Amino acid sequence: MEPLELESIVRHSRGRWVATSPLPALSVAELSTDTRALGNQSVFVALSGPNFDGHAFVSEARHRGAVASIVQSRRLSELPPSGGPYIVVDEPLEALERLARWNRERLSLSVIAVTGSVGKTSVKEFISTILGGAHSVKSAPKSFNNRIGVAMSILSAHPGTEVLVLEMGTSSPGEISHLSNLARPHRVVITEIAPAHLDGLGDLDGIVKAKAEIFDGLGDGGSAFVRHGVHGFDLLAAKARGPLLTFGWNKGDIAVTDCQRVMLGQDAHDSLVSADYGYHFTINGSENFLLPVPGRHNVLNAAAAIGVARDLGMSWELIRSQIASCRLPPLRFQVTEQNGLVLVDDSYNANPASMEAAIREWESIEWGVETSSRVAVLGDMLEMGPESLRLHTEIGKRLHRSGARLVVTVGNDSRWIGEACLNEGAHAETVHFASASEALPFLKRSLRSGDCVLFKGSRRIGLDSCVKAVREWACQNLAKST
Tell me how crowded residue 480 is: count the other CB atoms within 10 A of its CB: 9
Reference 75, options 57, 58, 55, 60; nearest CA is 55
How do residues 144-199 score in pLDDT, each as one tens digit? Answer: 899 999 999 999 999 999 999 999 999 999 999 999 999 999 999 999 999 999 99
Q: Could you give the number of structural domains in the chain?
A: 3
Same structural domain, 307 and 398: no
For residues 342 and 452, the answer to whether their CB atoms sit within 8 Å is yes
* Secondary structure of the chain as H, E, C letters: CCCEEHHHHHHHCCCEEECCCCCCCCEECEEECCHHHCCCCEEEECCEECCEEHHHHHHHHHHCCEEEEEEEHHHHHHCCHHHCCEEEECCHHHHHHHHHHHHHHHCCCEEEEEECCCCHHHHHHHHHHHHCCCCCEEECCCCCCCHHHHHHHHHHCCCCCCEEEEECCCCCCCHHHHHHHHHCCCEEEECCCCCCCHHHHCCHHHHHHHHHHHHHHCCCCCEEEEECCCCCHHHHHHHCCCCEEEEEECCCCEEEEEEEEEECCCCCCCCCCCCCEEEEEEECCCEEEEECCCCCHHHHHHHHHHHHHHHCCCCHHHHHHHHCCCCCCCCCCEEEEECCEEEEEECCCCCHHHHHHHHHHHHHCCCCCCCCEEEEEEECCCCCHHHHHHHHHHHHHHHHHHCCCEEEEECCCCHHHHHHHHHCCCCCEEEEECCHHHHHHHHHHHCCCCEEEEEECCHHHCHHHHHHHHHHHHHHHCCCCC
Q: What pLDDT, on the 0 to 100 scale, is given for residue 270? A: 47
In a domain, 226, yes or no: yes
Same structural domain, 289 and 143: yes
Q: What pLDDT, on the 0 to 100 scale, is given for residue 49? A: 86
Is 90 exceeded by the pLDDT of residue 360? yes
Is 70 exceeded by the pLDDT of residue 369? no
In a domain, 101, yes or no: no
Residue 47 lies in domain = 4-90
Q: What pLDDT, on the 0 to 100 scale, is given for residue 432? A: 98
For residues 114 and 120, the answer to whether their CB atoms sit within 8 Å is yes
In a domain, 95, yes or no: no
Same structural domain, 111 and 241: yes
The structure's pTM equals: 0.92
Same structural domain, 126 and 55: no
In a domain, 398, yes or no: yes
Q: What pLDDT, on the 0 to 100 scale, is given for residue 288? A: 97
Q: CATH number, domain at 473?
A: 3.90.190.20
Q: What pLDDT, on the 0 to 100 scale, is given for residue 14? A: 97
The better pLDDT of the pair 368, 111 is held by: 111
In a domain, 48, yes or no: yes
% of residues, the chain, pLDDT over 70: 96
Is 70 exceeded by the pLDDT of residue 482? no
Q: CATH number, domain at 147?
A: 3.40.1190.10
How do residues 214-255 score in pLDDT, each as one tens digit? Answer: 999 998 899 999 999 999 999 999 999 899 999 999 999 999
How do residues 62-95 score in pLDDT, each as one tens digit? Answer: 999 999 999 999 999 999 998 999 999 999 999 9
CB within 8 Å of 85: residues ≥ 6 apart? 17, 18, 19, 20, 21, 67, 68, 69
Same structural domain, 349 and 413: yes
- Rounded Cα distance between 283 and 458, Å, is 33
Is 80 exceeded by the pLDDT of residue 480? no
Same structural domain, 238 and 380: no
Q: CATH number, domain at 12?
A: 3.40.1390.10
Over range 323-341, report the average pLDDT. Answer: 91
Over range 42-55, report the average pLDDT. Answer: 93
- Rounded Cα distance between 280 and 297, Å, is 13
- Rounded Cα distance between 452 and 437, Å, is 20
Q: What pLDDT, on the 0 to 100 scale, is given for residue 269? A: 46
- Rounded Cα distance between 331 and 345, Å, is 6
Looking at every residue in the chain, the average pLDDT score rounds to 93
In a domain, 482, yes or no: no
For residues 191 and 117, the answer to whether their CB atoms sit within 8 Å is yes
Is 60 exceeded by the pLDDT of residue 273? no
Burial per residue of 400-415, b for 16 or more beta-carbon CB atoms within 10 angstroms, e otherwise: bebebbbbbbbbbbbb
